[in-house]
Amino acid sequence: MSIQPRDNHFKVDRDNKAKLSNSEFSFICQFVYQTTGIVLNESKREMVYRRFTRIVREKKLASFSKYCQLLESNPEQEKDYFINAITTNLTSFFREQHHFDYLIQTELPNLLQTKKRQGNGKKRLRIWSSASSTGEEPYSIAMTLHSIFKNELSEWDAKILATDIDSNVLNKGKSGIYDQKRVEDIPQHFLEEYFYQGKAHNLNNVKVTSNLQRLITFKRLNLLNEWPMKGPFDIIFCRNVIIYFDKVTQQDLFARYYDLLAPGGLFILGHSENLGEFQKYFEHAGRTMFRKPV
């Protein structure tokens, strides 16, 4: 029996699956590595296949190779769409809770005291969420910060920078609107203080309050490119992103993060990440937390 294409656009094989050839797969891996630093290998083939299938369907193309041709002939036009479709954006509010406990119990009270002693004028505080995805990480930082500083916020020039390579997730973060289910695990007092319940057709959504939104600036930034910020940052979150890069890229980025950290500043990695060779330049501050020496 001959197998018929399932629709007009996409040819399928015996297993009802379109074929992703080895040369298409390696072209994709190469393109992703060069534009984002993300290393894709054989273990990611199924994931690439699924995401690539979605792209080809959305673009109503006849095959994977047609999209490869498009990427090759017009990379500038296709790149952003492709990167948005291929990145892994998994995140959640207060992910790796111990980092936020440390901020509330130790880091922020210490910064408050130290900076208070530094004379008159507004006290500067800068935090960078450097792979902010859909915004749960920077909003968790903002809730933590606001809960500690709220009575004296007018005395502070406090800002959180949230960056990511993926423009879709940044737009989601900017909107501050989340499905009710995503905020279920947030402590009740934070929920009451920092979220509005949606009404009418938005009943299943919540929206972050404007006092939190005001603390955060969302900006697109590819970590591989030049960083326009001057810093210094008091705290940098670099969680669950360098895991996608190779060792050379990781070490290069660690050096750049180090330069942007204030002396005594805190650098935070994700649960399965480490500094490797770069560990010797930092002091250990806690589980996956590192301090630049003063």
Ligand X SMILES: C[S@@+](CC[C@H](N)C(=O)[O-])C[C@H]1O[C@@H](n2cnc3c(N)ncnc32)[C@H](O)[C@@H]1O
Nearest residue to ligand X, scored by beta-carbon proximity: 91
Q: Of residues 249-288, which lie at the interface with ligand X (CB under 6 A)? A: 270
Q: Is 50 a catalytic residue?
A: no
Number of residues counted as binding ligand X (CB under 6 A): 24
Cα angle 78, 226, 30 (rounded to 5 degrees) comes to: 40
Give the residue with the Cβ less far from ligand X, 123 or 239. Answer: 239
CB 252 within 8 A of CB 278: no
Q: Give the span between the Cα atoms of 228 and 290, in whole angstroms.
A: 24
Q: How far does Cα 271 stand from its chain's mean position?
A: 14
Q: Give the span between the Cα atoms of 103 and 110, in whole angstroms.
A: 9
Q: Is 214 a catalytic residue?
A: no
Stretch that binds ligand X, among 193-201, 240-248, 253-261, 278-286 (CB under 6 A): 240-248
Q: Give the span between the Cα atoms of 107 and 266, in whole angstroms.
A: 8
Give the residue with the Cβ less far from ligand X, 116 or 256. Answer: 256
* x/- track of binding to ligand X for residues 151-180 (CB under 6 A): -------------xxx--x-----------
Q: Residue 136 Cβ, how far from ligand X at the closest point, in Å?
A: 7
> Rule CB under 6 A: is residue 103 a binding residue for ligand X?
no
Tell which residue, 170, 180, 101, 105, has the closest CA to residue 138. Answer: 170
> Rule CB under 6 A: is residue 205 a binding residue for ligand X?
no
CB 104 within 8 A of CB 144: yes
> Rule CB under 6 A: is residue 224 a binding residue for ligand X?
yes
Total residue count of the chain as it appears in this document? 294
Q: Give the residue numbers marked as catalytic.
A: 51, 164
Binding site for ligand X (CB under 6 A): 36-38, 87-91, 95, 131, 133, 137, 164-166, 169, 222-224, 239-241, 244, 270
